[in-house]
Amino acid sequence: MWNNSSVVVYSNSKLNYNVKLLAFRASFVKFVKIYSVMEAAISEKIDKWLSGNFDAETKATIQELQQNNPNELADAFYKDLEFGTGGLRGIMGVGTNRINKYTIGMATQGFANYLIKSFPEQQIRIAVAHDSRNNSRTFAEITANVMAANGIQVFLFEALRPTPELSFTIRHLQCQGGVVCTASHNPREYNGYKAYFNDGGQLVPPHDKNVIIEVQKISSVDEVKWNGGEANIHLVGAELDQAYISMVKGLSVYPEVISQQKDLKIVYTPIHGTGITLVPQVLKQFGFENLTLVEEQIIPDGNFPTVVYPNPEESEAMSLGLKKAQEIDADILLGTDPDADRVGVGVKDHHGNWILLNGNQTAVLAFNYMIEARRKKGIAQENDMVVKTIVTTDMIDVIAAKNDVACYNVLTGFKWIAELIKEKEASENYIIGGEESYGLMIGKELRDKDAVSAVALLCEMAAYEKNAGKSLFTKMVELYVEYGLYREHLISITKKGRDGQAQIAAMMERFRTNPPKSLDGVEVASIYDYETKEAKDLRTGQVCTIDLPKSNVLQFVLADGSKISARPSGTEPKIKFYFSVQGKLATVDEFDAAYASLGQRIETITKDLNL
């Protein structure tokens, strides 16, 4: 028999159940209404494409998807592909949420309108390039045709070219803007559209938001000027190649060392991309005579037949190169992504095993070389400066500080490095910038990451160290002894589909509202929230303002200086977690044990964050 307290418990449980049931019903009704509104909007967009001025093939594809794959069709139309602060990037296919000739054309019309407003009473000039991806040439020609139809003089590359050459060309030809059709390192189903302004850098405030506004105003394909200005299109090629190669050659610090190490064994793979058009020529101009190409990957091919992801960050993409390097006992392996703005590096470690450096290690070696070698050569200047991003290893800050070189930190993306150069160029001398995602920008003659010049300088670095009886790996470990041991790691979590963005947003909200108090037993000393632009010292409660533009990034800095950053990707349906832990390294002989210990710390922190 129940006592009175049991009855009360039962009654309360029943009441709670009823309340939860009512709440569930209300939520379900709300979901049904939202879903119904969304489905109606999707249907309306599909109907517009079926009845509007779209080609027969596009309409037939939509009808086929209606019959056989309605879910894919819904995903293709449930939203408009956003023209972000860098342009467009997405899966190719029909629909408003896909990369196709219509979304490319509408974006170009909006960009053209903004250029015309920004440079009144001027003859506007724009450079257009593309990579090796499927449809990239078609998209570049559409871009050129729409720009030309708007009265803009267009300098269209005659064939595929690396993205950095596009940035260089904008400055070299004094253009007001530029476009390159590429999805960089994304999988083969993607393509994209990067927009540049007159400094050769990608769009930054206020131009990025203002271009977005102009693009959003284009509500119909009927508003696009598709043709009529063909006489305004000028094909360019070899003459720009020579100007660019000459610029890159001028970046060399120790050409005399190269002449002594001209037989340096170099293995290079363009991973089916644009690097093949310039990298071999640049290396030859530098004076290197012993270049081996990875034959299976030298032909440009948007299907990227030998890899899953055409990204030199992925060991799988570099595996054929590693095999070739081992075969011929090379000194260095290099690989570039499809648009040749990222570079991966392979070297032999102190055990004779071939390994891939991560982006932070490559950046450390490159920054240190440009600081150290310039000083030894006697060409360093008192106002030299370097620039890195907030998620790139702090080891660079330490190296710069100990060498009395100014080091600036900016948000992720080379457009912010380009913007800082423009801000500082009257008073400071920029020498190198980079980020952990395998990007380097050496010298100030272009304003985007450049794997072509990076390949050349990395080979010069390898020659410089070999001339001193060392390898790049040996140099890296020596730097760890001198400046402190740092180990970095990246975890990318992909959330695809209509609810992917919501899941990523929920993860960021969880870390904002319930941040960790300690990780791996080490106190979280401060939190940097770049969205609110606030940095809070958790020990004193002091709050400082972050003097950078707003960005959806969170950083947890531990008491020992280690740092964990969370950042949703701006180009892919991913959220990225960057780990940087540090310690001391007394001698080269202790490297293996000390580096392994830092790896264990990263594993523990990952578990603490429940990733």
- CA torsion through residues 351, 352, 353, 357, sign: positive
- Residues 380, 458: contact at Cβ < 8 Å? no
Query: Catalytic annotation on 27?
Result: no
| Site of tokens 């490159």 | 366
Q: How far apart are CA 405 and CA 420, in angstroms?
A: 16
Residue type, 55: D
Q: What number of residues does the chain have?
A: 611
Burial of residue 594 (CB within 10 Å: 0-12, 13-18, 19+) is: middle
Longest Cα–Cα distance of the chain, Å, equals 98
Write the single-letter amino acid at 483: Y
Token pair listed for 322: 């590693």
Catalytic pick among 132, 136, 167, 184: 184
Query: What one-character DSSP code corresponds to residue 409?
Result: E
The angle formed by the CA atoms of residues 102, 103 and 109, to the nearest 5 degrees, is 90
Other CB atoms within 10 A of residue 111 CB? 29
60 vs 49, 55, 65, 549, CA distance in Å?
Answer: 11, 9, 9, 45
**Tokens read off for 33:** 């209404």
What's the CA angle centered on 163, arms 160 and 166, to 5 degrees?
Answer: 90
Task: Say which residues have a Cβ less than 8 Å from residue 232's Cβ, sequence separation at least 6.
Answer: 147, 148, 151, 152, 153, 154
Listed residue (354, 362, 312, 398) closest to 488, CA to CA: 362
Beta bridge partners of 543: 536
Amino acid at 554: L
Residues 49 and 59 sit within 8 Å (Cβ to Cβ): yes
Tokens (6 digits) for 487:
């180990």
d(CA 563, CA 578): 8
Cβ-proximal residues to 92 (8 Å cutoff; 6+ apart), any chain: 98, 99, 100, 134, 135, 189, 190, 191
Judge contact between 167 and 196, C-beta under 8 A. Answer: yes
Residue identified by tokens 């071999």 is 280
Report d(CA 574, CA 376) in Å as an integer. 43
The answer to whether residues 524 and 562 touch, using CB atoms and an 8 Å cutoff, is no
| In the block, residue with structure tokens 């219509």 | 102
Torsion, CA 395, CA 397, CA 402, CA 406, rounded to 10: 160
Angle at 520 between CA 518 and CA 524, to 5 degrees: 25
Hey, which residues are catalytic here? Answer: 184
